Structure 1
Amino acid sequence: MTDFKPESFASIGPKEFAQLVKSTPDSKIAEVMGGPDRSKILDEVFNRMPTLFRADRAGSTQAVIHWNITGGPGDSTDTYETVIENGACTVTNEPVRDPKLAMTMDPVTFLKVVSGDGNPMMMFMTGKIKAKGDLGLAAQVAKLFDIPKA
């Protein structure tokens, strides 16, 4: 599969999604993520988070994380909330709790992070990811999920 279309995301697994992100030019990802299919793609990615969560690595972690994805239609930002508590992970696109960590990034950076195609620490150091709050948690977030490798 070589075409970056949201209709096909529901039918592919994390590894195939990772390969798709890796093989799609950044300009094409940015174009799609700035259009009407953006929320379908973000919803699909965030809806998978609880299934990729590694409770065995979370230990006693209790955290609310806000993911602010910029670059939407009309320069909008979408915010999703991930809650990790009691060995479980839940996600909503209607944040209601105060975050322990808030991360802001453009949609290309976000998809590279969640598909294992980018180094989150390097992206943070180069300013592609902005984090507010618990930076120790920021450094650990990727370890809490089974991130596919393309």
Structure 2
Amino acid sequence: MASPDPTEIASLEPAAVYASLEQADEREFAALIDDPASHEAVVDALARHMAGTFRSDRAGDLDAVIHVKLWDKPGGGYDHLELVIGGGTCVLADEPTRDPDLTLKVRPIDLRGILTGATGPRRLAMRGKLRVLGDLKLGMRLPELFAFDA
């Protein structure tokens, strides 16, 4: 596969970006996430895909706020995402504003691995590549609540 062009990626819809990310090898993915021209589009695609794999039929009456902090943002720091679960839905917030019940700290390449089903959150946590803070019981339910390989 030819390496996706960062400028092209930035102009695509999130679903199309995610489809490109699924096909990219680790080197290509790293180039896209590290390039300021495509970074925001890649993070948005990962976040929207995660929210879109929510299994409302398995959530019951769950009300929760999950923060995802993606390490290694170009220029330093991290990207901060907020997923709000309630009323059988999972909504990606524009800006994190609520106190989280659960915070996940992970590198973008590892989040992609979780979402594609290439690796599991428990495996990453045991290897120190995923930090889970807050409601660990909720953290253990993530594979039940999200169709990560969808």
Q: TM-score range with shorter-chain normalisation?
A: 0.7 to 0.9
- What displacement does 1:76 show? 2.4
Task: Report the Cα offset of residue 93 of structure 1.
Answer: 4.1
Q: Secondary structure at the match of 2:31?
A: helix
State the one-letter code of the partner of 2:40.
Answer: S
Matched, 1:20 2:36: no
TM-score for both structures, normalised by structure 2: 0.83
Q: State the alpha-carbon separation in 1 of the partners of residues 48 and 70 from structure 2.
A: 15
Normalising by structure 1, report the TM-score. Answer: 0.83
- What is the CA distance between 1:31 and its match in structure 2? 2.6
Aligned length in residues: 145
Secondary structure of the residue that 2:98 maps to in structure 1? coil
Change (3 A) 1:112 1:90: same
Distance in 2 of aligned mates of 1:142 and 1:4: 29
- Label 1:93 to 1:130 Cα distance change in 2 as closer, same or farther (>3 A): farther
Unaligned runs of 5+ in 1: none
* Structure 2 stretches lacking a partner, 5+ long: none
Is the Cα–Cα contact under 8 Å of residues 101 and 138 in structure 1 kept in the other structure?
A: yes
- Determine the structure 2 residue equivalent to 1:85: 86
1:50–1:105 Cα change, 3 Å: closer
Secondary structure of 1:83 counterpart: strand
Contact 2:64 2:100 in 1 (8 A): yes
Residue 33 of structure 1 corresponds to which residue in structure 2? Answer: 33
Q: Percent identity at matched positions?
A: 28
- Alignment RMSD, CA only? 2.3
Runs of 4+ in structure 1 over 6 Å off? none
Residues 104 and 132 of structure 2 are in contact (CA less than 8 Å); yes or no, is this contact kept in structure 1? Answer: yes
